[in-house]
Amino acid sequence: MKKYLLLALVCVGSSLLSVYLYSRWIAPNQVVWASSNGETRLAGLVDQLFERRASAEFRSSSPTNFIQAAELATPSVVNIRALIETGNSLWGSSSLTGSSGSGVVVAPEGYIVTNHHVVEKSKDIKVTLADKRTYQAKLIGSDPSTDIALLKIEETNLPFVIFGNSDSVRVGEWVLAVGNPFNLESTVTAGIVSAKGRNINILSGAASIESFIQTDAAVNPGNSGGALVNTAGELIGVNTAIITESGSYEGYSFAVPSNLVKKIVSDLREFGIVQRAFLGVGIQDLDSETAKELGLPNAEGVLINRVTSEGAASDAGLQPGDVVVGIDNTGVRSTSELQEYIGRFRPGESVQIDYWRENRRQRTKITLKDVNNSTKVAKAIGNEMEEELGLAMRNLSRDEQHKLRLQGVMVSSVRRGSLVFETNMQPGFIITSVNGKRVANVSEAIEAMESAYNNLSLDGYYEGESDLYSYRFKKGG
């Protein structure tokens, strides 16, 4: 018995001695990181790593919790129903069809952002909030070149989204698409940012700006005008388009960056029209072969192929063959990025341009101009067509809109002997459409009249009369 007890004591003692010797002289496993200066540092013991990992929060799981972002964004996303007047029949009549989309409340006073194509040519716009309250909406202004429109409802203290910084958005970042389609109430989908600065050639016009944020968050047609928000619930884009062959979502959706939206909204609120600034150049994307010929280190940049006489770039000394590589200390890789950045400025404001010429990087400051090479901001005051057509207009007051139940502009005066005078149009006539295009303010009416090639048709009503009047004439006689 004593023999076995002694053997057991020896075994226990040997084990304890082995553990002590191992912990005292044998180096434990270590994990090593390389520091930025090439030196190395010890990160600790393997058992310490396991302890840290057990108590740490897994960062990879945190972005998938979208509850807070959804709760912040969904009360601000609305449904929009617009009645649109479609083509004329043989008898001169027209029909109405409905358009549905989403919108985002961006100010507590009732300002709502949506897409231009959602409310284009609309006769009547109704907004349904997330809490199901419905309002008649006024179109403050619309910008086809960015597909952004601004509406206003008569309500205060509304929940609204905060503008985020779309420049800080990174590819691979989690985002939420929030819409209010077909009165299904707020619908939230999640995805990641697939790309930035996308140009998909869907907007018409030489002045159009396409620099979309591409995501794989599910967006269907009724989500047009809805919010694209980051995981903090901040607005980083307005959902605008999808690429599809079936008519439904197929994995590609596109949003107008919030930094551009913010500028468009500011212009429409302050002026009723968008103040567009231009560099006064023709541009094209740079390819690797051209970049090599010009001595550039890579093909990131925008090649200037034309400089407008008396334009902003000409004043600053830029020339055809120069390559714009940066603006305001931010790198420029493509034409869409450059157009979007310039689109955030008004005429008269200045930017710093970095460009490549004669195998070296150079810098200049440019004062931007409008399409007419002016540095002054423009504001529609109503008499812009008085000399050419002979009429002056003004916006309808809020009380007039409510009383007449019309959106349009009122003719305040008609010059004797003018083109409009010959049609027998009288002051007080309310123009609701120009060549079939609905107009809600003076800026839209002027734009429609100026863009008409030859024939003009001004349709509308007189107060107290239900009949639609139509005045037709040719510009220039």
Asked about 47 being catalytic, the answer comes back as no
Question: Between β-strands 138-143 and 302-307, what pairing exists: parallel, antiparallel or unpaired?
Answer: unpaired
Given 76, 102, 147, 211, the catalytic residue: 147
Given 99, 117, 166, 433, the catalytic residue: 117
- The residues, any chain, with a CB within 8 Å of residue 150's CB and separated by 6 or more, are 111, 112, 113, 139, 140, 141, 142, 264, 265, 268, 269
d(CA 58, CA 230): 19
Tokens linked to 302: 């925008």
d(CA 140, CA 462): 22
Given 224, 258, 334, 433, the catalytic residue: 224
Tokens 């009645």 found at: 83
Tokens linked to 312: 């902003």
- The residues, any chain, with a CB within 8 Å of residue 16's CB and separated by 6 or more, are none
Asked about 224 being catalytic, the answer comes back as yes
- The residues, any chain, with a CB within 8 Å of residue 47's CB and separated by 6 or more, are 28
Phi, psi torsion values for 165, nearest 5 degrees: -100, 105
Asked about 15 being catalytic, the answer comes back as no
Question: Between β-strands 323-327 and 94-107, what pairing exists: parallel, antiparallel or unpaired?
Answer: unpaired
DSSP string, 361-413: EEEEEEE-B-TTS--SPP---S-TTTTTTSEEEEEPPHHHHHHHT--SEEEEE
Which positions are catalytic? 117, 147, 224
